[in-house]
Structure 1
């Protein structure tokens, strides 16, 4: 049972986001300077407007038209310059955020390659994809728009406060009441509603995971006529996601109107108090007009910040999910001076090995086994007996809680994982092919193989003729996961790929379980060629495929309950005998 992810506070998230932005500090600094300049040009406008109003006096000939027109011209120039700088800054920030998000997404994908296999056993693929796509896009939106909006708002607020203090310190007394009200209200709502946005991201991740599983399992769903059940399950998850989205948006939207009310209250107080100051001769009409304009510029950004509150909360929730994945524990690093396997012979030893995925249920118990180089070891047993777990231990996808596994007399914990895994070639029940040419799929892991090597491996795997019958031969493109070719052909392609790797040890995990009997014979012949001279571990449910193995291990409840040749195990009249006759007896 996996632990719940650690919650990250907003300050920590901001520091982590800043570390990505800091990679492009000069672009960021330029954008900030452009933003400051743009907002300063905007802040000059209300002051010039006030001067223009004061240049208009009652009475014939009292209006200083030349001064009014000049001030209006200056206002036009400042506003035009502000717009130009804001446009340049927007283009720069778009490039900056795209570069930042690209790095973040690249780090996420690199992290996935470093995580242990156990992580993928306990996390839905759809949820992982949601972090790389939806959550990253949410962060991108926030960085490209909300970040600049908040920065502009801060500059505008500070600039407006300074100008209002210069114009009338007395009128600033109004904000002594309203500003603390806005701050306290925003903080309260932020703390109150943040969990709702975290829950929204989590529910969307669950929904994506469910959809991904159902898309990949459409054939099974239709075979069992479970379309209605799946639709009902989707509707339930979809409702949860929509409800979570609604709750976060509904409560998040309360912040904007609440802050707007407080700002409108402050504007009303300014108007009333300013009118008295004007009547008492403590402020000119132009200065009062400028102060009102600055107060609106002051309250406007506060309203904007409160209105993007929901987006910011969503971005924090998305960033938390992204950084939680980046903080996941990676595979334990190789020890200093780790041994590098070269020219592997293929001797394998298990010494009193015990392993459990969870402490409550051991899968492998005190297992000891010795395999000589070149031997073929078949592993059979009931479902859940621990057969595939043995393979995971051989490859160090997991490490045992106790005991030692040796390859050529070397404790594999003291060797590099890369050299250990390169010593094995694998052909699995679930064939994995990627979108690309057949040639690229065959040379996966053997990039230096020549065309002649590839064709020789394909011929040995008895797939060459099929490949040459295709329109572009080895350069024929195949769909993702090889969906355009049959299961048997995919299996033969993976066997050819394993042959090209030319590893001294071989793992065959249920390699013929998904094909018909005729294709199985063809695959079995190809596998026999592949296994020649190699130490081979074969997991098979079809016992007809492993009758010539040098040693057959019968595993049950994590222990080797029987071992020997096919004939010896039949004569022993134990579990193997039972399994064998359950497959071949017709009575």
Structure 2
């Protein structure tokens, strides 16, 4: 791979905010794209919103008419008009309330559809991302984006969006009615409204970064908590509870501080705008009274104008608070869109071919690889493995053993050189078909919540119970399964609670036995079990490896004495290779590893 191509690949995984949708306009446009498929329902909600607010806007006018029907002095109150206008007010307000309820239900439905699509898109995106992304990103942070951030977007779409639409209709309608009543009094807002707008823009500019920081800190807190919950056994063994309490306290304090600052500065907008609105209401009351005394306005008109001014100012105050909440939703949306914008696993080459069967001959030809582009992990690796051979890979921690497996599975691409399977460059084989030629049994056993049978047929859903029993007997796990409460229908949890490490490992071996594969990768498959269980697992693995090319990564050298080829890896290079006896005779690196394990007192 050329240096320029490598640089491009690295750039895909850098957290470069300059290429992310980190401004309001872009984020709002992208959120709007999720609304477009539901545009007719959205337009219906907007139409109902307009009607509901127009009905509510009739109320102050009817109130003014009712007041004007009340005159000072006995017998001067026209009760018919008062009752008539009051009855109309009840009808209009009640109709507006019913329509508002329908709108709320409709917007909840719309937001749920959007959130469903967004969460599905995020999950589908995660399925396309390369292993590199998950190696570099905390699991808790990913979960935070899928749950907290999307829920924040949902809350904004459900509540804030409806409120903004309602406020816009109310403000425009109230302004029109006030102009019709008294254009002179409207001049009060010519002073107060611009002040409100300028102040809101200034405050939003100040606290927008705080909401981004809040979302990031919460993601970090969730990531830390997820790691601690999954590592409780190790934490207790090493007595690290107090240290981790301090670590959590620091993360929690950072999250709380970021949350407090965002909410504190965001909450300043509402009171500030409310002060300006109260000031405008006071000015309207004073000037309205003067116009009434001069005979320019009736008492009912002054009353209607005051009510409309409150309807006009109230939404402005509400929108200021909503914009504060909207910043949180936009910050959450940015984090979600950042994930959606991550580069997926590179597509197969246009000339890539499907491999339906493999003999299992593998070769590394002058392969070089680095995870970060600066620190080499594999250097000039040359290796040839014949079909059907059992190849053991040994070496100190960090030598590059697992990296070789990642390259074999095409999780990562070499920086230079090439890897071939049956003489065919892995780059010219589709990833899906290549990985279907392998079965993997890892040190960290992975089971999911489901029955034993469902876990066993995970990679071969068409397998029958008879086929499953055949492989579980080969893996020496059948008798144990039959002792479970419901046998193969027994439900197990995702972490295999109630099963020993050896039992879980044997289940994963049986699962691999069900696959029609040509190559195997066994990564420290016996490192977490006792000697007796190790012997059982070795027998099961021997059955699994029959007729297949197998790569075994092992620290326990006793498990690989019968390997056809042992590769001794150090600093990313194969420093020695041969059989167990051959490597002991040359008295090199392998002989030192062996002596350290078996002959030291």
Question: Shorter-chain TM-score: which interval?
Answer: over 0.9
Deviation at residue 483 of structure 1 after TM alignment: 2.0
Where 1:508 maps in the other structure, the secondary structure is strand
| Pairwise CA RMSD | 1.3
The answer on 1:86 being equivalent to 2:97 is no
Q: TM-score when scaled to structure 1?
A: 0.98
1:53–1:286 CA contact under 8 A, matched in 2: yes
Structure 1: give runs of 5+ residues left out of the alignment.
none
Where 1:427 maps in the other structure, the secondary structure is strand
Which residue number in structure 1 is paired with residue 339 of structure 2?
325
User: Aligned match of 2:210 in 177, 187, 196?
Assistant: 196
The answer on 1:434 being equivalent to 2:443 is no
In 2: Cα distance, 1:394 partner to 1:429 partner? 17
Mean Cα deviation higher: 193-202 or 92-101 = 92-101
Deviation at residue 4 of structure 1 after TM alignment: 2.8
Deviation at residue 447 of structure 1 after TM alignment: 0.6
Where 2:420 maps in the other structure, the secondary structure is strand
2:204–2:324 CA contact under 8 A, matched in 1: no
Where 1:513 maps in the other structure, the secondary structure is coil
Which residue number in structure 2 is paired with residue 4 of structure 1?
15
Which residue number in structure 1 is paired with residue 503 of structure 2?
489
Matches within 5 A, 1:315-354: 315-354=329-368
1:5–1:324 CA contact under 8 A, matched in 2: no
The answer on 1:26 being equivalent to 2:37 is no
1:351–1:405 CA contact under 8 A, matched in 2: yes
> Once the two structures are superposed, what CA deviation does each residue of 1:469-504 show, in whole Å capped at 9, x if it has no partner?
111111110111212200000000000100101210
Where 2:378 maps in the other structure, the secondary structure is strand
> Once the two structures are superposed, what CA deviation does each residue of 1:150-181 show, in whole Å capped at 9, x if it has no partner?
11111111111111112111111111111110
In 2: Cα distance, 1:567 partner to 1:350 partner? 24
The answer on 1:205 being equivalent to 2:233 is no
In 1: Cα distance, 2:69 partner to 2:431 partner? 81
The answer on 1:382 being equivalent to 2:396 is yes
Aligned residues: 587
2:446–2:494 CA contact under 8 A, matched in 1: no
In 2: Cα distance, 1:241 partner to 1:139 partner? 19
Deviation at residue 307 of structure 1 after TM alignment: 2.3
1:504–1:535 CA contact under 8 A, matched in 2: yes
In 1: Cα distance, 2:531 partner to 2:40 partner? 66
User: Aligned match of 2:591 in 554, 577, 586?
Assistant: 577
User: Aligned match of 1:291 in 293, 297, 305?
Assistant: 305
Deviation at residue 202 of structure 1 after TM alignment: 0.9
Which residue number in structure 2 is paired with residue 75 of structure 1?
89
Mean Cα deviation higher: 425-434 or 340-349 = 340-349
Mean Cα deviation higher: 98-107 or 423-432 = 98-107
User: Aligned match of 2:484 in 457, 470, 495?
Assistant: 470
Deviation at residue 5 of structure 1 after TM alignment: 4.6
Deviation at residue 279 of structure 1 after TM alignment: 2.6
Q: TM-score when scaled to structure 2?
A: 0.96
2:509–2:540 CA contact under 8 A, matched in 1: yes
The answer on 1:47 being equivalent to 2:61 is yes
User: Aligned match of 1:310 in 313, 319, 324?
Assistant: 324
Which residue number in structure 2 is paired with residue 560 of structure 1?
574
Which residue number in structure 1 is paired with residue 557 of structure 2?
543
Deviation at residue 355 of structure 1 after TM alignment: 0.5
User: Aligned match of 2:155 in 141, 154, 157?
Assistant: 141
Which residue number in structure 1 is paired with residue 526 of structure 2?
512
In 2: Cα distance, 1:500 partner to 1:581 partner? 38
In 1: Cα distance, 2:323 partner to 2:499 partner? 51
Mean Cα deviation higher: 471-480 or 60-69 = 60-69
User: Aligned match of 1:398 in 391, 406, 412?
Assistant: 412
User: Aligned match of 1:460 in 447, 469, 474?
Assistant: 474
Which residue number in structure 2 is paired with residue 110 of structure 1?
124
User: Aligned match of 2:548 in 534, 556, 574?
Assistant: 534
In 1: Cα distance, 2:182 partner to 2:410 partner? 73
> Once the two structures are superposed, what CA deviation does each residue of 1:62-104 show, in whole Å capped at 9, x if it has no partner?
3322122111111100001011111111111112211211111
Structure 2: give runs of 5+ residues left out of the alignment.
1-9
In 1: Cα distance, 2:464 partner to 2:531 partner? 33
In 1: Cα distance, 2:53 partner to 2:283 partner? 26
In 2: Cα distance, 1:24 partner to 1:547 partner? 65
In 1: Cα distance, 2:368 partner to 2:173 partner? 68
Mean Cα deviation higher: 265-274 or 574-583 = 265-274
Mean Cα deviation higher: 353-362 or 332-341 = 332-341
Which residue number in structure 1 is paired with residue 5 of structure 2?
none
User: Aligned match of 1:173 in 178, 187, 199?
Assistant: 187
